[in-house]
Amino acid sequence: MNKKILIITYYWPPAGGPGVQRWLKFTKYLPEFGYEPHVYIPENPSYPILDQSLVKEINPKVKIIKKPIWEPYQLAEKITKKNKDFKAGQFETSKKLGLLSRLSVFIRGNFFIPDARKFWIKPSIAFLTDYIKEHKIDILITTGPPHSMHLIGLGLKQICKENLKWIADFRDPWTKISYYSQLKLTHKSDKKHKELEKKVMQTADVVISTSYTDKENFEKLGAKNVVCITNGFDSEVNILNKKTLKFTLSYVGMLETLRNPVNLWNVLSELISQNPEFASHFCLKFVGKISNSILDELNHSIIKDKMVNIGYLSHTESINEMNNSDLLLITNFNNEQSKGIIPGKLFEYLATGKGILSLGPKNADVEKILNETESGKHFTYYDHENLMSFLMNEFEKWKNNLIASPNLKNSKFHRKMLTEDLSNTIFSIFQKKIQN
């Protein structure tokens, strides 16, 4: 008989973007390990990005439960269209925000704690308390952000106590996220966020992080049992071994102002202006939503004529664009606090076998993975000369038709392997429950 698991998530197909991928893929493979996933989602969510292609990836063995949610984003978007970007995770620096946008950020951070989905917490606890008893659910998993999902888990754990084991999965950290300082919090609100975060950490039976640094930080907050299970890639990512028409550097995903790799643009501008051969063969490709300020910057530079901005594509189409590239770009926030961020797209980058160019803080978790898998190179935002040498070396490889080959060192990041790690974590909880 399959063990029953209840997963509470806000993001689920047809939601697009990286947030939906993690549990869509876990639930794809969990039945193979003897688990019956029940997934609780909002009936009428406000998703910033849609990707209908992901709907067909839902495992038919997954039982979906939907309940209505009320969230204030529709009202916020009437105040200013920029609130749609804020909802999608695009944060401009405070200097570039208008008065209405700054007001909206202040209201969001101080009046909607932990986030604007807070109004789903109480009705969800009331409904799921009965659902858990009726369906004899043993394991509860909440995944955030939004971190209000964890508060649903906290409420259910307090009611069901030892009869229910709770796993809190943090796809991103709560108060350690890079844009937390952009929320314009009062002292009282900041204290409230941190109190709730600590309570979740200390109450959950297991806390899952997606990076090694986050694991260390969660342990410092008092989490009693932290397991790191990174994101990964799935079987639909296939290697395409053929030379591209242009030496193509691609960024796939969302790129906001706070992760703008200015030094890279400077290096590329220098190479284009000084090296006619590089200039004639180079292409910079964007696939996804790119900050207007970054596009404006590039459109006023020598890079403009070498740039292709495709816009948002479905998950499958995005993978095709990765394959039709030579180098894949990943950037991080330019601060020490963000070294634990491992963007989900890194693993799909890895699966293609293409070279990866990473920019971010020193000693980042991304750098550790790239070194471990020998899949690319990580640079700080100010490493000008080494970055230029790396790009020229990769360009020479392209000229000489040195095509990427499969990398067996990446296999540990396949979604099925990661689901086995999750299964082992769940199994250990069941064992403790039996022993108690």
Rounded to whole angstroms, how far apart are CA atoms 369 and 182?
A: 29
Superfamily of domain 3-232+414-435: Glycogen Phosphorylase B; (3.40.50.2000)
* Mean pLDDT, the chain, whole residue set: 89
Q: What is the pLDDT of residues 293-306, one digit of tens each?
A: 999 999 999 999 99
Residue 235 pLDDT greater than 70, yes or no = yes
Positive or negative torsion for Cα 376, 381, 384, 388: positive
The region of weakest confidence among 99-113, 191-205, 378-392 is 99-113
Rama region for 327: left / alpha / beta (φ>0; ψ in -120 to 50; rest):
beta
Could you give the 3-state DSSP secondary structure of residue 371? helix
pLDDT of residue 83: 47
Contact in structure between 2 and 35 (CB atoms under 8 Å): yes
Residue 403 pLDDT greater than 80, yes or no = no
Domain 247-411 -> CATH class: alpha beta
Residue 90 pLDDT greater than 50, yes or no = no
Rounded to whole angstroms, how far apart are CA atoms 341 and 358?
A: 12
pLDDT of residue 286: 97
- Strand bridging mode 3-8 / 307-309: unpaired
Question: b or e along 69-92 (b: 16 or more beta carbons within 10 Å of the residue's beta carbon)?
Answer: bebbbeebbeebebbebbbbbbbb
Rounded to whole angstroms, how far apart are CA atoms 376 and 249?
A: 13
Residue in the block written with tokens 């947030």:
19
**Cα 132 to chain center, whole Å?**
29
At 111, is the pLDDT very low, low, confident or very high (cuts 50, 70, 90)?
confident
Q: What CA–CA distances, in Å, run from 327 to 2, 357, 358, 412?
A: 43, 7, 10, 22
DSSP β-bridge partners for residue 308: 285
Rounded percentage of the chain residues whose pLDDT exceeds 70: 89
Residue 384 pLDDT greater than 60, yes or no = yes
Please name which of 333, 392, 329 lies closest in space to residue 356, comparing C-alpha atoms. 329
At 73, is the pLDDT very low, low, confident or very high (cuts 50, 70, 90)?
low
pLDDT of residue 269: 97
> Which range, 74-83, 118-127, 330-339, has the best average confidence (pLDDT)?
118-127
Domain boundaries, the chain: 3-232+414-435, 247-411
Q: What is the pLDDT of residues 245-281, one digit of tens each?
A: 999 999 999 898 889 999 999 999 999 999 999 999 9
The region of weakest confidence among 194-198, 199-203, 241-245, 331-335 is 241-245
**Cα 20 to chain center, whole Å?**
9
Helices in 221-261 by DSSP H: which ranges?
none
The region of weakest confidence among 139-153, 376-390, 395-409 is 395-409
CB atoms within 10 A of CB 232: 27
Helices in 301-414 by DSSP H: which ranges?
315-323, 345-352, 365-373, 384-399
The region of weakest confidence among 122-126, 312-316, 328-332 is 312-316
